[in-house]
Structure 1
Amino acid sequence: MASGSRVTILPQSKEALLKSYNARLKEDVRSMLENFEETLKLARRDSHSQISRTTQSEQDALEMQIRASNMVRAGESLMKLVADLKQYLILNDFHSVNEAITNNSQLFRSTQIECDKKLMKLRDEMAMDLYDLEEEYYTSIFK
């Protein structure tokens, strides 16, 4: 199975949570759309009613304010949903977290091995230099 097309079976609680997120999304988008359509209808409407033109205008203005408030509420709800989804992903994406930990561990192990090799080489060079210095000291006529 390719890593890009992995199929995951979610526990019941996660599945229910994701379904509730989906329901919230659909409800908020539906609310925004309905309120926007109704606002447009109010803007286009000719007043052929029994009430006075001023009263109708005030009533339409109030309804437009209410519908605008409903659209703002739905937009804020959608932004909260996005924040909730981000938080859910961060807190529950164990696969990515484990992958990052594994990659870091491998990187640190390879760095450790490289440092160990360099230290061994340095130790060997220092041992040879020390041996040469001791040899020079003990065979010197100036001791």
Structure 2
Amino acid sequence: MIVRDIKDIIGSHKEVYAKDGQWISRRMLLKSDNMGFSFHETIIKAGTKTHIHYQNHLEAVYCVAGNGKIEDLSSGRVHEIYDGVMYALDKHDDHNLYGGSEDMRLICVFNPPIVGTENHDENGVYPILSE
């Protein structure tokens, strides 16, 4: 059984910051935990824009606080995100994620799992890393 407290993640090497400061990812389960997925709490800063295109991963995201929006770059469709909304990037969807009027708190699951040090490259991609 794995039990982790977010207070132990904050300030540790498992708390990763976006290169440009738009988000904070608190990585609670990683590839090394052998669960077949990784599990994160991510804070999207209010008023920010992040381009994301996970070409190597599928992601499901559930908003538990705050607000923002997601823009599907292939269709141009924009969806509002707020407490209780889930979205899944089931087709490696190229998108922009916007922080709204307040920080947005998201719970995220990645498949395949990440190792924990990943950050978006210039195309919004997390690379596949080995530990």
Bucket of the pairwise TM-score, normalised by the shorter protein: under 0.3
Report which structure shows greater RCO (CA 8 Å, sep ≥6): 2
Higher normalized strand content (fraction of residues): 2
Larger Rg belongs to:
1
Larger helix share, 1 or 2:
1
TM-score by length of 2: 0.20
